[in-house]
Amino acid sequence: MRRLTVDPARRVAFDALRAVHADDAYANLVLAKLLTERHLSGRDAAFATELLAGTCRMQGTYDRILTAAAGRTLNTLQPAVVDVLRLGTHQLLALRVPTHAAVAATVDLAASAVGERVTGLTNAILRRVAARSFDDWVEELSTGLDPRAALALRTAHPDWVVAAYADLLPEEELETALAANNASPTTTLAVRPGLAEVAELVAAGADPTTYSPFAARWSGNPADLAAVREGRAGVQDEGSQLVTWGLTRAAAPDGWWLDLCAGPGGKSALLAGLAPERGGRLLAAELSVHRSLLVRAGLRGYARVARTTGWADPAVITADGTRPAWHPGAFSRVLADVPCSGLGALRRRPESRWRRQPEDVEAMHPLQRALLNTALDSAASGGVVAYVTCSPHRQETTDVVDPILAQRADVAVIDAAGLLPELGDAARGPYLQLWPHRHGTDAMFAAYLRKL
């Protein structure tokens, strides 16, 4: 019998991919768990990460290629075999793995994970995949497609996501914007104001970013930094920091601040550190008990300081934002970072573009409207509300804000460009729209509103 030599990095990527498809697991979370359990680090961890993330991102296009190479629909194959083939395809068409090594390693993975009976099939399909380059496959499969469908195939996005981006961006910018979703983002850290300075992270080897005064890029394991281990800094995309910072730069009365949908707590941590400088104190509200615990964990650095100095630490409650547990007009600043499709964070959630459907956007629209109305009702006269999504989709952004503005005479728009003048090319009317290909951040949207 042939002796199998299954590479541990490929096995981790396969097990994670199976969890994504069979159990609806989040790719980044299940991968981190498996890397720890199986003690993979360094180059092995980096290879497993790229193999999983790249395969998840390109899945739709790889499935079209595999269907053509197999000469059959993929639902006629075992799901585990399809995942093995997807991983092999990524090695053949996107990574610098020699063909013989990619095929042999993937066949061994198939034998180990599924059974010897599928090795011949796996070998045959992958050799057909390897007969063409990615560009050649795309050119062949694009025959007869309209330009927008060909773009979706070339950039590995569902048609409806391409349509949503095309609704907002100039045609000549569209492919660049979609391609940016396929680039692996660097890890960005955020210091907790009052607990750490960016200079400390830079001294440890991090690089400052372009826009946020709280951010630094880090290429290693964040847990290697003392500031992260001690809760004085955390991982947070620069776009999330910027939309939060914008809320704090508008004039508003002193008083309590509210983070209406606080989980997992990154924006709460930034607000908690900035509030005391402006005569405020933060209340973080989160519907999910599990996510409330994550918020508390993110604020642990402030809680530690409060125990030793008497400083007013932020408060965390588990509460439904659509059924407020507080009096109307109780807050000077309110952040409503509402649940959304996450179409602006496709770089960090590689599987989400294939998991989400247009119906998901439609289904969240009433909740987003309800949360924005709660946020406005919760703000004091003269107070400021930030409506934020990690999606640029029109239905989750302006189609939520504009109708509510038309219905309420007690709200005025604050020009976002005036709050964040450092950001060029980020205005979307009076609102803020960040893009990965323009700003190197997630595609965050923010509308800043004043309660009259």
120: burial class by Cβ within 10 Å (0-12, 13-18, 19+)? Answer: exposed
Asked if residue 418 belongs to a known ligand binding site, the reply is: no
Residue 248 amino acid letter: T
Asked if residue 340 belongs to a known ligand binding site, the reply is: no
Q: Which one-letter DSSP state was computed for residue 276?
A: G
Q: Indicate which residue of 340, 390, 419, 446 is catalytic.
A: 390
Asked if residue 159 belongs to a known ligand binding site, the reply is: no
Asked if residue 56 belongs to a known ligand binding site, the reply is: no
Asked if residue 337 belongs to a known ligand binding site, the reply is: yes
Q: Which one-letter DSSP state was computed for residue 345?
A: G
Asked if residue 451 belongs to a known ligand binding site, the reply is: no
Give pairs for 93-101: CB < 8 Å, separation 24+. 93/62, 93/65, 93/129, 93/133, 93/134, 93/137, 94/54, 94/58, 94/134, 95/50, 95/51, 95/54, 99/130
Structure token pair of residue 304: 């530690």
Look up 340 and say whether it is catalytic.
no
Asked if residue 266 belongs to a known ligand binding site, the reply is: yes
Asked if 128 and 66 count as a contact pair (C-beta separation under 8 A), the reply is no
Asked if residue 267 belongs to a known ligand binding site, the reply is: yes
60: burial class by Cβ within 10 Å (0-12, 13-18, 19+)? Answer: middle
Q: Which one-letter DSSP state was computed for residue 256?
A: E
Asked if residue 261 belongs to a known ligand binding site, the reply is: yes
242: burial class by Cβ within 10 Å (0-12, 13-18, 19+)? Answer: buried
Residue numbers belonging to the annotated binding site for S-adenosyl-L-methionine: 261-267, 286, 320, 337
Residue numbers annotated as active site: 390
Annotated binding site, which residues? Answer: 261-267, 286, 320, 337
